[in-house]
């Protein structure tokens, strides 16, 4: 109990607090990965194993962490990653995170399967946000979603390509979140766990409604029944999508296109050929194919293949400002922050996200100062120590 009142500072602190606040099935959905969670773990340890090189006695009195991500100014090279069901972790969590991202000055990405709708996010402020798309079999709703996004001022579309099928996540199966589960298993896994977390029950369970995928309600029959939603989504995910479909997407989307979920130089080249303005080196935070390489290890190969032809961003394992410095050192133009923002919103709401993002920015500033860099462009392999 002693630690309960201490202010969380690092991602690990917010994670611990989120674990206390959330019903087990939601924390596991957020925190867990596919199968044995090997890739989930290695994403983080691969960042940890990279060493920074301390370089001193340079004038670092003026440090500038600012950059541009696809011509969009960002106070440091990061954006919030799209997170499905985010709004189950805190009351209207996507709204809270959007506000925090606006305040800090980095982009927010809204998931296709977010709880808050495109319109609800657009109403938060005039600052643009990014919209993430999963391709649905039924192209009618896809067209409509993109039109709604444009009407809401979205200029950047993040198209996710690593979810042709859903990765199997054992924690979710055990908790009755996915797979074929009987009523008793669900009851034990979800209802009882929710009752044991009265703060969440009050904040989200009772006062955070509706708990539907906000942007999709218009297309789902029986939108208010979670089970119908779940099966609609599963049945709508289009596993037949290929690079050819990007042409169609390009024909109806005049804005910037980001392809998220690239993990090899070959796919990176295909994404560039298909007309991507940026791509995200990502393994979906270890939630899809367990056993694939950590993203930070694949990044240099993707950079070698396509640098100069599209912006290259990376996610999966970014837990601090030092990690952002390392990603840029290996050639990334930017990073997406995934689980950390959700731990923060679950633990402390909008203020938690703001504080965590501030921490990331100051950690980056310190990493720059002590590796002798005053500008993010100076973050090159020179700041990594490979001698030991």
Give me the active site residues, please: 284
Q: Does 82 bind ligand FNR (CB under 6 A)?
A: yes
Write down the residue that tokens 């969670």 correspond to: 37
Q: Buried (b) or exposed (e) across 215-233, using 16+ Cβ within 10 A?
A: bbeebbeebeeeeebeebb
Q: Does 30 bind ligand FNR (CB under 6 A)?
A: yes
Using CB under 6 A, which of the segments 57-65, 118-126, 219-227, 331-339 binds ligand FNR?
331-339
3-state secondary structure of 163: coil
Binding mask 86-125 for ligand FNR (x = CB under 6 A): -------------------------x-x------------
The binder of ligand FNR chosen from 256, 339, 348, 355 (CB under 6 A): 339
Count of beta carbons in the 10 Å neighbourhood of residue 269? 16
Minimum distance from residue 224 beta carbon to ligand FNR (Å)? 21
Count of beta carbons in the 10 Å neighbourhood of residue 88? 22
Task: Please calculate the CA angle 64-256-154 and round it to the nearest 5 degrees.
Answer: 90
Residue 236: DSSP 8-state: H
DSSP H/E element including 77: none
- Residue number with CB closer to ligand FNR (83 or 367): 83
Q: Does 284 bind ligand FNR (CB under 6 A)?
A: yes
Using CB under 6 A, which of the segments 173-181, 213-221, 313-321, 356-364 binds ligand FNR?
313-321
Task: Please calculate the CA angle 306-307-310 and round it to the nearest 5 degrees.
Answer: 75
Q: Does 357 bind ligand FNR (CB under 6 A)?
A: no
Going by their DSSP bridges, the two strands 130-133 and 156-160 should be labelled as parallel
- Residue number with CB closer to ligand FNR (91 or 373): 91
- CA gyration radius, the chain: 20
- Residue number with CB closer to ligand FNR (8 or 317): 317
Q: What are the percentages of helix, strand and coil residues in the chain, rounded to 5?
A: 50, 10, 40
For residue 158 the two structure tokens come to 């993040």
Using CB under 6 A, which of the segments 214-222, 269-277, 311-319, 376-384 binds ligand FNR?
311-319
Minimum distance from residue 287 beta carbon to ligand FNR (Å)? 6
Using CB under 6 A, which of the segments 301-309, 310-318, 358-366, 372-380 binds ligand FNR?
310-318
Using CB under 6 A, which of the segments 6-14, 149-157, 312-320, 373-381 binds ligand FNR?
312-320
- Residue number with CB closer to ligand FNR (208 or 317): 317
- Do residues 86 and 94 touch, judged by C-beta distance below 8 A? yes
- Residue number with CB closer to ligand FNR (69 or 336): 336
Q: Does 146 bind ligand FNR (CB under 6 A)?
A: no
Residue 58: DSSP 8-state: S
Minimum distance from residue 44 beta carbon to ligand FNR (Å)? 7
Minimum distance from residue 160 beta carbon to ligand FNR (Å)? 4
In sequence order, the β-bridge partners of residue 280 are 260, 313
Q: Does 84 bind ligand FNR (CB under 6 A)?
A: yes
The alpha carbon of 347 is separated from its chain's Cα centroid by a whole number of angstroms, namely 17
The binder of ligand FNR chosen from 34, 83, 116, 324 (CB under 6 A): 83
Q: What is the Cα–Cα distance from 185 to 195, expressed in whole angstroms?
A: 15
The binder of ligand FNR chosen from 338, 345, 357, 368 (CB under 6 A): 338
Q: Does 39 bind ligand FNR (CB under 6 A)?
A: no
The binder of ligand FNR chosen from 65, 117, 132, 178 (CB under 6 A): 132
Minimum distance from residue 148 beta carbon to ligand FNR (Å)? 17
The binder of ligand FNR chosen from 11, 39, 43, 193 (CB under 6 A): 43
Task: Please calculate the CA angle 210-190-15 and round it to the nearest 5 degrees.
Answer: 85
DSSP H/E element including 380: none
The answer to whether the peptide bond before residue 202 is cis (omega within 30 degrees of 0) is no
Write down the residue that tokens 């969380």 correspond to: 8
> By the criterion CB under 6 A, which residues form the site for ligand FNR?
29-30, 43, 81-84, 111, 113, 132, 160, 260, 282, 284-285, 287, 315-318, 336, 338-339
């Amino acid at each position: 109990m002693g630690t309960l009142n201490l202010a969380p500072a690092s991602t690990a602190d917010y994670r611990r607090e989120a674990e206390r606040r959330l019903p087990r099935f939601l924390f596991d959905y957020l925190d867990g990965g596919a199968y044995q969670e090997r890739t989930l773990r290695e994403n983080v340890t691969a960042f940890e194993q990279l060493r920074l090189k301390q370089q001193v006695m340079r004038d670092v009195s003026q440090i500038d962490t600012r950059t541009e991500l696809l011509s969009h100014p960002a106070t440091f090279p990061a954006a919030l990653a799209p997170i499905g069901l985010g709004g189950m972790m805190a009351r209207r969590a996507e709204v809270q995170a959007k506000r925090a991202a606006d305040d800090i000055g980095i982009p927010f990405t809204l998931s296709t399967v977010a709880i808050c709708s495109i319109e609800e996010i657009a109403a938060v402020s005039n600052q643009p946000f990014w919209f993430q798309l999963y391709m649905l079999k039924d192209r009618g709703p896809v067209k409509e979603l993109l039109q709604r996004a444009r009407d809401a001022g979205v200029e950047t579309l993040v198209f996710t390509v690593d979810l042709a099928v859903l990765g199997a996540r054992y924690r979710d199966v055990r908790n009755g979140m996915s797979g074929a589960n009987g009523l008793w298993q669900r009851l034990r896994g979800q209802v009882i766990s929710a009752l044991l977390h009265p703060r969440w029950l009050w904040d989200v369970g009772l006062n955070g409604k509706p708990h539907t995928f906000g942007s999709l309600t218009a297309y789902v029959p029986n939108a208010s029944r979670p089970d119908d939603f779940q099966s609609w989504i599963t049945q709508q995910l289009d596993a037949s999508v290929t690079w050819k479909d990007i042409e169609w997407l390009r024909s109806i989307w005049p804005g910037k296109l980001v392809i998220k979920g690239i993990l090899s130089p070959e796919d990176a080249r295909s994404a560039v050929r298909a007309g991507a303005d940026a791509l995200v080196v990502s393994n979906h935070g270890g939630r899809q194919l367990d056993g694939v390489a950590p993203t930070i290890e694949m990044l240099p190969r993707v950079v070698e293949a396509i640098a100069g032809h599209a912006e290259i961003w990376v996610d999966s394992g970014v837990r601090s400002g030092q990690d952002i410095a390392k990603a840029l050192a290996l050639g990334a133009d930017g990073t997406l922050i995934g689980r950390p923002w959700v731990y923060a919103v679950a633990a402390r709401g909008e203020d938690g996200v703001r504080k965590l993002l501030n921490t990331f920015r100051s950690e980056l500033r310190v990493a720059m100062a002590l590796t002798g860099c005053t500008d993010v462009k100076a973050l090159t392999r020179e700041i990594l120590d490979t001698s030991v």
